[in-house]
Amino acid sequence: MESMAGAARRLRLLLRSTAVLYLLAAAFLLGSAGVLYSRFTFAAFSDSYTPPSPGCRPDGEGSWSIGLFYGESPLKLQPLELREMWRNESAAWPVANPVFTCASVLDARSPSNFVADPFLHILGDTFYLFFETKNSITLQGDIGVARSTDQGATWKYLGIALDEEWHLSYPYVFSHEDQIFMMPESSKKGELHLYRAVDFPLQWKLEKVILKKPLVDSFIINHNGYYWLFGSDFSAFGAKKNGELEIWYSSSPLGPWKPHKQNPVYNTDKSLGARNAGRPFVYNDILYRTGQDCGETYGRRIRLFQVKVLTPDNYEEVEIPFGIEEPRKGRNAWNGARYHHLDVQKLPSGEWVGVMDGDRVPSGDSVRRLILGYIAFGLVTILVIVSGVLVSAIKCIVPLSWCLPISAKRSDSISQRRSYFQLYPKLRWLFTHLNRLGSPLQGRINPNNCSGRSLLALILIVVLALTCIGTHHVYGGNGAEVAYPVNGQYSQFTLLTMTYDARIWNLKMFIKHYSRCSSVREIVVVWNKGQPPVNSDFDSAVPVRIRIEDRNSLNNRFKADPLIKTRAVLELDDDIMMTCDDVERGFRVWREHPDRIVGFYPRLANGNPLQYRDERYARQQNGYNMILTGAAFIDSKLAFDMYWSELAKEGREFVDKKFNCEDVLLNFLYVNASKPGKTVEYVRPSWAIDTSKFTGAAISKNTQVHYQVRSECLVKFAKMYGNLAANKWSFNGRTDGWDV
């Protein structure tokens, strides 16, 4: 009991020591800094729609997904969204890439971390998609298959077509003599296998071992009287990884195969496209091959080659421009970091269709982020301890009494007691040297003078910066603000803003930021007065269209525009800045409720006569009945037709008279035209900044006068279209928690 009391007493003294108090204070300060940093830089809301599953986990190999492309030529392919495929019943207007992701692999036994290496097999009007899927449990590549009966707009996952004991990828599928064959990469097995479909598309039988070589990314093509086999053997002596290519030829796809006289035809720099990147194709009687540029990172981009000579003795090809535009949205784009595989085929209609994989992060990104994050946290720990020693908060002296021998029990063996006594001198030597190293640092900084406080402030700044860096890399994800799918599909919207010449500086910042948001297809600038800018003034990742108006009117915001190709329009004032993730969440909610105004600024109109109230008042009353269209999603056809109808003519004239209230009018029109039910939907942004507060360039700069005018509008519109006060909806009514 006496020894336990002594231990408790020593523990209390330790907890009251300056060292412990200093370390606890540092942990609290830096922990708070990390939490605040993450609060303002990371997405504040999780995607509660996605059920917990082992799939789609961060993977060192990437986050590959698959997109669809169409074109009149294989050299001029455009992404699916430009085809304007509308699938109203699936909540996509229009359907956008990617069309297939790891979340599409709905199999609890074989969840997927990513999908890549897509190949198409087309039977009539049905598309079959074969791809590599990395199993989240075994971390092994298997071959999955999906089917589409609507030209690739939607896909149904069918299951795993091929699962071996070794890694599989690159499922090259082709037909020969009314049979369907698959030749996946199986380099881990050390052989190239050919499988035949016995019950297409899910049952396959090993037909033959093509070559006893660990070939990577191989294909077979019938051209000029021979069957040609292209593949890479990185295991060969002197072979350069991702830079080696070999060719074989035969009179049959089943072999036997003879090596090309020039083998290896390439053994060069990995950035030059030697490694195959999908199915070759023939266009205008010319053979084309795709190759991977792996220079910056594995699978950085696709290179396209025109084959000039292909004979058993000679091979020659020249590079030509790749016909797909490089993505410009960075990590917010599904293929913003890299794309490394393309399969393009001609349809009976004469049109060409292609599938391509893409990734938003480079190879090894998740591992790299963790390493950098933990290095930053390690440096923080070292700096905190060293600074504690420098100010004498931590005594860098280890008591040598810790090294005194303790009494051993009589039952201990002689050899065990001897080993104890041999250890004490070694510990004493170690602690003595530690004390000597720490002594010169002890108390070297005096926090009571100016120089000492300046040095401590500098150390604090460095420690806080390292804490934010570590938090960013470990907890911040890959930095992408990506789209949210609805029913497994993605879509795009048009961003429309209205401005004039006094706010051009703000418009440049606005366009640069929002053009990088994942689902933005085009930005339309409604120019009301002054000298309009030109497109070269803007740094934009999407097309920007300046729509010059004849007169300065707020009604121009809702004018019908036949050039808008999306059903969804985000009306957004150019002085509102919020994260792309906030915008994407709002877009997801609108896609679930396209008949509503879905936005980020709720308001409440109540009283007799009606009065215009701000968000604070609405929250006090726990309800809202209007959404400001300065930041809101609307149905372009529904809203614009309604606003420019004959019914709304008197309201538009009142808007011109007051130069205010166009958004109030649209809220009244929605209530008047809709069936009983909710017409507005609020989505809370994690943060939003009104930049007009810094310049005063806004019609609402005098809040009291602005609200008074809006109250007049409420009274006027209530007489025209009926009272909307009864349509009050409470906050926190959604199950996702995005409207708290």
Q: Active-site residues: which are they?
A: 663
CA distance 398 to 389: 13
β-pair type (315-320, 301-310): antiparallel
Helices (H) and strands (E) in the chain, counts: 13, 35
Count of all residues that appear for the chain in the document: 740
Residue 687: closest CA among 31, 23, 43: 43
Give the whole-angstrom CA distance, residue 579 versus residue 506. Answer: 16
Nearest of 678, 669, 602, 663 to residue 629 by alpha carbon: 663
- Angle in degrees, CA 185, 191, 194, rounded to 5: 60
Measured in degrees and rounded to the nearest 5, phi and psi for residue 592 equal: -80, -25
Answer for the pair 591, 681: CB distance below 8 angstroms, yes or no: no
Residue with tokens 């810094």: 694
- Give dist(CA 625, CA 668) in Å, integer: 10
- Cβ distance 514 to 583 under 8 Å? yes
Distance CA 713, CA 669 (A): 13
Angle between the N-to-C axes of helices 365-390 and 450-475, in degrees from 0 to 180, rounded to the nearest 10: 160
Q: Which residue's entry shows tokens 């060192």?
A: 60
Alpha-carbon gap, residue 129 to 173, rounded angstroms: 10
Q: Which residues pair with 148 in a beta bridge?
A: 127
Pairing of strands 490-491, 95-96: antiparallel
Q: Give residues with Cβ within 8 angstroms of 391, minimum separation 6.
A: 443, 445, 447, 452, 456
Residue 603 and residue 613: Cα distance in Å, rounded? 6
The DSSP code sequence of 1-59 is: -HHHHHHHHHHHHHHTSHHHHHHHHHHHHHHHHHHHHHHHHS-SS--TTS---SSS---
Question: What single DSSP character describes residue 702?
Answer: S
Neighbours of 637 (CB within 10 A): 12
What does the block give as tokens for 580? 């792309």
Check the CA dihedral 583-585-588-592 and report its sign: negative
AA letter at 664: V
The Cα 341–Cα 723 span in angstroms is: 58
CB of 347 within 8 A of CB of 122? yes
Peptide bond preceding 201: is omega within 30 degrees of 0, i.e. cis? yes
Q: Phi and psi dihedrals of 430, rounded to 5?
A: -65, -50
Closest CA relative to residue 246, chosen from 227, 261, 231? 231
Distance in angstroms (rounded) separating the CA atoms of residues 242 and 239: 9
- Are 519 and 96 in contact by the 8 Å Cβ rule? The answer is yes
Q: Whole-angstrom Cα distance, residue 121 to residue 146?
A: 10
Contact (Cβ atoms closer than 8 angstroms) between residue 600 and residue 684: yes
d(CA 565, CA 492): 10
d(CA 657, CA 663): 15
Q: Looking up tokens 């001609």, which residue turns up?
A: 346
In 3D, which of 543, 545, 585, 579 has the Cα closest to residue 562?
545
Token couple for 408: 């051993």
